[in-house]
Amino acid sequence: MTPTTAPGPSAATTAACPRLVEGRGEVSDAVVQALRSGAPPMDVPGAVLRADPWGEDFQLALYLMYELHYQGFEDVDDAREWDPDLLRLRQGLEARFLHALHTELSGAPRTVEDAFAPLLIEPVDLSGSLSRYLETQGGLWQLREYAALRSLYHLKEADPHVWVIPRLTGRAKAAMVAIEYDEFGAGHAERIHARLFADLMCDLDLDPRYGRYLDQAPAPLLATVNLMSLFGLHRARRGALVGHFACVEVTSSPGSRRLAKAMQRCGAGPAAEHFYAEHIEADAVHEQVVRHEVIGGLLADEPALEEDIAFGCAATVLVEDRLAGHIRRAWDEGGTALRVPLPWPDTPG
């Protein structure tokens, strides 16, 4: 495909902040109004308790406040990152999100071995696998939707995991830095994984600007990004963040192989294929390092964190399964997995 109106890949790496979107309910409306006005958020304790922790209003409100720690928003003062009133509201949302996660995972494994063992063996039956569906029967429009959804994660790929580095020591820290060095291009800006994903988006005629598809992103997608921000921003969640990171690395290589084939089958373009091909080998290596050195080193230093690591892994599987279920239901019904469908790019000449 030839890009039409989408900006070039460099747009994803500029300093421009994304636009602030409209709210989706009482809580997110209060956050948006506070960010736009510079005033404290309206008192909404009842709304926080009423909001569905998996719903659009709740997840967008949490996402907006977390984003202040990343690129921020256009016309929003950077000082709002540490605004005590916003942090107080965020704390209430985080408590409810964590409660929802623990409720869903009440029977989840509590040891690292039990949490990761099922992930180390590729299942024989892949009928429920989203990457398998895209590999074998997904259309180009579905690959575009998938990329637009995933852009909220991949254009900040590795960023939330960096927060754990100053909280680690010895083997775990050295191994984590080594993996992140690869994620950030091993010293080459054009190889940063977020940049590679921006190139993928251009091949698919998508706008690669950071945060561009926030308004179209449904709650199940926002939850996947919010989870790693929740773990990353709290030292007390360092074990869970390592569990999240390890889960992503362990499951990435097989899925990337299928997605690379999907991009090739649909003629998505060389950059689209390259992003996933790059992850096949890299993440296979990272998987070994993260399990044996990051997790192994952390448990050697802080064995009491084992249950937290297992929880981080289980929570990652949970939110990813919820997202995959949302996408498949929408597509099986002939609809869009986005809140608003993508326009199809103009056909040249």
**pLDDT tens digits for 117-137?**
999 887 756 777 999 999 999
Where b means 16+ CB within 10 Å and e means fewer, 276-290 reads bbbbbebbbebbebb
328 assigned to some structural domain: yes
pLDDT bracket for residue 279 (50, 70, 90): confident
235 assigned to some structural domain: yes
Do residues 251 and 311 share a domain? yes
pLDDT bracket for residue 345 (50, 70, 90): confident
Do residues 84 and 199 share a domain? no
CB atoms within 10 A of CB 325: 13
Write down the number of H helices and E strands in the chain. Answer: 15, 0
Of 75, 104, 133, the domain-final residue: 104
Instruction: Give the C-alpha separation, 239 to 311, whole Å.
Output: 9
Of 74, 104, 134, the domain-final residue: 104
Long-range contacts of 115-121 (CB under 8 A, 24+ apart): 115/243, 115/309, 115/310, 115/313, 115/314, 116/246, 116/247, 116/250, 116/291, 116/313, 119/247, 119/250, 119/251, 119/313, 119/317, 120/250
Do residues 265 and 226 share a domain? yes
Long-range contacts of 184-193 (CB under 8 A, 24+ apart): 184/158, 189/13, 192/13, 193/154, 193/157, 193/158, 193/275, 193/278, 193/279
155 assigned to some structural domain: yes
Amino acid occupying residue 188: H
Do residues 254 and 168 share a domain? yes
pLDDT value for 283: 67
297 close to 171: Cβ distance less than 8 angstroms: yes
Is it the case that residue 78 has pLDDT exceeding 90? yes
Average pLDDT over residues 330-339: 96
Instruction: Give the C-alpha separation, 21 to 44, whole Å.
Output: 19
Q: Is 164 helix (H, G, I), strand (E, B) or coil?
A: coil
3-state helix, strand, coil split of the chain in percent (to 5) is: 70, 0, 30
Is it the case that residue 27 has pLDDT exceeding 70? yes
Instruction: Give the C-alpha separation, 257 to 192, whole Å.
Output: 19
Domain count, the chain: 2
pLDDT value for 264: 96
pLDDT digits (tens, 9 = 90+) for 187-198: 999 999 999 999
163 assigned to some structural domain: yes
Do residues 218 and 259 share a domain? yes
Handedness of CA 330, 63, 262, 317 (dihedral sign): negative
pLDDT digits (tens, 9 = 90+) for 31-51: 999 999 999 999 888 999 999
Angle (nearest 5°) at CA 329 between 324 and 334:
125
130 close to 327: Cβ distance less than 8 angstroms: yes
Average pLDDT over residues 8-17: 50
In terms of residue numbers, what domain contains 288? 112-332
Distance of CA 130 to the CA centre of its chain: 16
pLDDT bracket for residue 261 (50, 70, 90): very high
pLDDT value for 9: 41
Instruction: Write out the two tokens for 152.
Output: 């909220």
pLDDT value for 124: 59
pLDDT bracket for residue 346 (50, 70, 90): low
Q: What percent of the chain has pLDDT over 90?
A: 85
